């Protein structure tokens, strides 16, 4: 039994004394101890070494005191497992030297045996569960098929992912084939994570908001729905689509346990658009953590008042930024927990 099961109870819609809190990218570059490991090991070495991934995962639980841990990894381990080269370049971010640009390029893309190709992730889960000792739940995650496709086709991060969209609109058959292969791999990957002990999973659709509502249904949502359908018999599923407020109605009917909301959608609109009966997660602007701690605490209280304490997971509206002072990150929790120094 999980000793602090507040997060899981909130996902189930149960009445709670206060909303649980965790932060997307909470095991990240704002923590000094993380930076020490970054100086010693490159990014994917940290992801692929179970002992390092475990250490990084547990850091914010010990230092910030959040109500859930999220496994340190990256959404791009999926294309790596699918025989697509992915590097992490300083000053650039994700870099895919051989992007998928034609139907012929799909010949080198495989649906892998995730137990083999992503065994290091499973080992990290096993070690992390031991380290957490059932103090808090552990979240596993994956990127949405559309978001993964964006990187696979664009070859790097982008402000508009124009090449990815061009591929979808000029070669839709190939695009859907790639999306399905990513979906099949992701389902197998998340199911195996659950088997190894994660207590919930989150699907990150970071670039869903790049698509129009119509294109979102075709190139993103129907694949996320497949993932929800496959995982919901086994665990609680959170769907987070950045900039996807227009899809909250469909998301709420999907069988997901909770929906993430970014800071551009108010609590009132999120409750209205999602029908008011599903747990919501969000939506503090990560940049607002630059504000003085007293201001952060005041704004957190306002956020909770607007969402309500039940069917709500307090979180950021996207990942925490690397240059946030640790006391300011703590202030987010202090506004909720009242116990973090």
Q: In sequence order, which residues have a C-beta less than 8 Å from that of residue 205 and are 6 or more positions away? A: 143, 144, 146, 147, 220, 224, 239, 240, 241, 242, 244
User: Average pLDDT for residues 200-209, to the nearest whole number?
Assistant: 98
Asked if the model's pLDDT at residue 219 lies above 50, the reply is: yes
Average predicted confidence (pLDDT) for the chain: 96
Q: For 54-79, what is each residue's pLDDT tens digit?
A: 999 999 999 999 999 999 999 999 99
User: Residue 316: its pLDDT value, please?
Assistant: 97
Q: For 103-114, what is each residue's pLDDT tens digit?
A: 999 999 999 999
CA distance 279 to 171: 37
For residues 140 and 71, the answer to whether their CB atoms sit within 8 Å is: yes
The 3-state DSSP class for residue 227 equals helix
Asked if the model's pLDDT at residue 337 lies above 80, the reply is: no
Q: For 269-286, what is each residue's pLDDT tens digit?
A: 999 999 999 999 999 999
User: Average pLDDT for residues 130-141, to the nearest whole number?
Assistant: 98
Q: For 148-184, what is each residue's pLDDT tens digit?
A: 999 999 999 999 999 999 999 999 999 999 999 999 9
Q: In sequence order, which residues have a C-beta less than 8 Å from that of residue 150 and are 6 or more positions away? A: 158, 161, 164, 207, 210
Q: For 76-97, what is each residue's pLDDT tens digit?
A: 999 999 999 999 998 899 999 9
> Which of 187-196, 214-223, 282-291, 324-333 is the least confident region?
324-333
User: Average pLDDT for residues 225-247, to the nearest whole number?
Assistant: 98
For a pLDDT cut of 90, what percent of the chain falls above it? 95
Asked if the model's pLDDT at residue 98 lies above 60, the reply is: yes
User: Residue 341: its pLDDT value, please?
Assistant: 37
Pairing of the two strands 93-95 and 138-143: unpaired
Report residue 204 as tokens. 């990150």
Asked if the model's pLDDT at residue 229 lies above 50, the reply is: yes
Confidence category of residue 38, pLDDT binned at 50, 70, 90: very high
Confidence category of residue 335, pLDDT binned at 50, 70, 90: low
Confidence category of residue 319, pLDDT binned at 50, 70, 90: very high
Confidence category of residue 237, pLDDT binned at 50, 70, 90: very high
For residues 262 and 204, the answer to whether their CB atoms sit within 8 Å is: no
């Amino acid at each position: 039994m999980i000793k602090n099961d507040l997060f899981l109870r909130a996902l189930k819609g149960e009445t709670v004394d206060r909303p649980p809190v965790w932060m997307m990218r909470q095991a990240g570059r704002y923590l000094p101890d993380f930076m020490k490991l970054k100086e010693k090991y490159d990014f994917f070495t940290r992801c692929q070494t179970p002992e390092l991934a475990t250490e990084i995962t547990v850091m914010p639980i010990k230092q910030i005191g959040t109500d859930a841990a999220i496994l340190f990894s990256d959404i791009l381990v999926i294309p790596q497992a699918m025989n697509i080269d992915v590097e992490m370049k300083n000053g650039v971010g994700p870099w895919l030297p051989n992007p998928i640009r034609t139907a012929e390029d799909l010949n080198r893309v495989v649906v892998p045996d995730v137990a083999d190709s992503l065994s290091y992730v499973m080992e990290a889960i096993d070690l992390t569960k031991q380290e957490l000792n059932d103090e808090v739940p552990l979240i596993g995650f994956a990127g949405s098929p559309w978001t993964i496709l964006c990187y696979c086709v664009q070859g790097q991060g982008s402000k508009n992912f124009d090449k990815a969209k061009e591929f979808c609109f000029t070669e839709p058959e190939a695009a859907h084939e790639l999306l399905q292969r990513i979906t099949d791999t992701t389902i197998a990957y998340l199911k195996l994570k659950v088997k190894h002990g994660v207590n919930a999973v989150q699907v990150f659709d970071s670039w869903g908001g790049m698509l129009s509502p119509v294109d979102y249904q075709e190139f993103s949502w129907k694949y996320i729905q497949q993932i929800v359908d496959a995982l919901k018999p086994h665990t609680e599923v959170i769907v987070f689509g950045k900039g996807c407020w227009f899809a909250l109605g469909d998301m709420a009917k999907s069988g997901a346990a909770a929906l993430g909301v970014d800071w551009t959608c108010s609590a009132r609109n999120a409750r209205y658009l999602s029908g008011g009966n599903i747990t919501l997660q969000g939506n503090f602007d990560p940049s607002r953590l630059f504000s003085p701690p007293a201001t952060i605490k005041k704004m957190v209280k306002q956020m909770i008042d607007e969402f309500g304490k039940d069917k709500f997971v307090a979180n950021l509206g996207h990942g925490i930024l690397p240059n946030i002072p640790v006391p300011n990150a703590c202030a987010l929790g202090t506004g909720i927990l009242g116990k973090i120094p």
